[in-house]
Amino acid sequence: MIRQALFILAALGLLSAPARASDAAIEAMQDYMMFQPYESGIILPQQIDKSVFDAAHFIDTRSADQFAAATIPGAVNIEWREVLDRMDDIPTSQMVILFCNTGSLSAQATFALRVAGRENVLVLQSGFTGWQSTAVYRPD
């Protein structure tokens, strides 16, 4: 009987642990969202002139196959789901621009990094597609 009670208490403890972690994650996201300006964490392709291009570190958050097919010159490939696991590969001392095809997956990656404290990361709104059609500067 005591053994069953201990088992039940241990199981309840394990079940409640994710709820506490989830609450902390929700609180961190709420704190971030409450104090960020509307356009925080966003860059438009039209803002990428030569000086921005030269100063930025580009991360292609698409699949390895998409990256191999075409990307922004100089970009490195870190798939969007891997950005938190590979934070050590993401510079902290310069502007970092994340992109995917349209900006939706890279926006999720950027949000995760910003909530994790990386204020130097931006999402390329409209993604690689937008960069191809409307970036002010595209190296040859």
Are 86 and 60 spatial neighbours (Cβ–Cβ below 8 Å)? no
Average pLDDT over residues 97-107: 96
Query: For helices 104-115 and 2-34, what crossing angle results, to 10°?
Result: 110
Q: Where are the domains of the chain?
A: 1-35, 42-134
- Band of residue 132 on the pLDDT scale cut at 50, 70, 90: very high
Task: List, for residues 31-83, the tens digit of each pLDDT value.
Answer: 555 555 555 589 999 999 999 999 999 999 999 999 999 999 999 999 999 99
pLDDT at residue 17 above 90?
Answer: no
Q: Among 85, 45, 69, 114, which Cα is nearest to 58's?
A: 45
Strand 76-77 and strand 42-43: the pairing is unpaired
Residue 28 has a pLDDT of 64
Residue 23 has a pLDDT of 76
- Band of residue 21 on the pLDDT scale cut at 50, 70, 90: low
Beta-bridge partners for 99: 60
Query: What is the domain class of 42-134 according to CATH?
Result: alpha beta
